[in-house]
Amino acid sequence: MIETLEAAPDEIYDIELEHSLLEANAKLARDNRALLDGHGVKAVDFMGAIGSGKTTLITRLVEKLRGGFGVAVFNGDATTSDDADDIAEQGVPVVQIATVNGCHLDANLVGKALRKIPLEDLDLLFIENIGNLICPAEFPLGSKARVVVVSVTEGPYMVRKHPHMFLGAAVVVINKIDLAEAMDVSVERLADDVHKLKPDIRVIPTSCKTGAGLDEVVAALLAV
C-alpha cells in the first residue's frame, strides 16, 4: 500500500540556508593562490575553444621564457595526454589533469596538481583549461590572471557568442592572424567586440606560425 504524505502548513519548516554553491570552489582557489603567492609563483590560466591554439601558444611562450624563468604547465584535457606530451618536449614540468567526464578544471584538481610540481623552483605556471568556452568561466582556479584565446578560424562572431568568458579575462589573444584574410575575418572587429564587453582587456593579435605578437604576450603576462 502506498501512503501519500501531505504535510499540513504548520508542519512545514522553512529555513534559511544562504549557502553559496560557488564558494566551495572559490575558497579552494584562494588556497591555491596563497600557496602560489607563498612560493612567488605567478599562475596564468588559458581558456579557449578546442582548436583555438591554446597548446601551441603555451608551447611557444614556454620556448621564449624557459631560459630566464622557472616555468611549469598544467594541461587540462578530458581524456588524452597528446597536448601535455607536446609541451613536455620543452623540458619543463608538465602535469596532465584528466577531467574524464568533467567539462572544466576546478580549484580542487588544480590544488592536487600543485603538489606534483617543484614550486620552489618556479616563477610561472601556465594552466591550460579544457577546450570549452562556457563552463570554465565561473570556476576560478587560483591564478593571477586569465587569458582567453580566440582564433580567426572560429569565425567573426566568436566573442559575442561567448560573452561570459571575457568578463573575467585580463588578456585576450586573437590567434592565427596569418589566416585572417583567408577566413575573411576582421581582427579589429573581434577586438572591438571584446572591448564592448570589457574595455580594459588587453587584446593581442598573434600568429604562432609566424611568431607575430608572441613577444607582446610574454610582456603582458610578465606584467599582470
Partner 1 sequence: MHELSIASAIVEKILEFVEEKQIMKVVEVRLAVGELSCVEAEQLRFCISSITKETPMEDSTLEIEKIDAEVVCPHCSYAGRPKYWDDLLSSGPIPTLQCPECGKAAKPSQGQDCAIKTIKYVA
Residue with cell 590544488: 111
**221: part of which helix (H) or strand (E)?**
helix 214-223
**Where does this chain touch partner 1 (CB under 8 A) — which range of 33-41, 96-104, 146-154, 209-217?**
96-104
Q: Per rule CB under 8 A, is residue 11 in the interface with partner 1?
A: yes
Task: Identify which of 217, 193, 222 has the alpha carbon closest to the alpha carbon of residue 56.
Answer: 217
Q: If binding is defined by CB under 8 A, does position 3 make contact with partner 1?
A: no
- Give me the 19-48 binding string for partner 1, x by CB under 8 A, dash otherwise: xxxxxx------------------------
Q: What single-letter amino acid sits at 221?
A: L
Report the candidate in 162, 190, 164 with the shortest Cα–Cα distance to residue 176.
190
Q: Which of residues 146-165 bind partner 1 (CB under 8 A)?
A: 157, 160-161, 163-164
How big is the site for partner 1, counted in residues (CB under 8 A)?
A: 38
Q: How many CB atoms lie within 10 A of CB 104?
A: 19
| Alpha carbons 166 and 159: distance in angstroms, whole number | 8
Nearest approach, Cβ of 137 to partner 1 (angstroms)? Answer: 5
Residues near partner 1, by CB under 8 A: 5, 7, 11-24, 102-104, 106, 134-139, 157, 160-161, 163-164, 167, 195-200
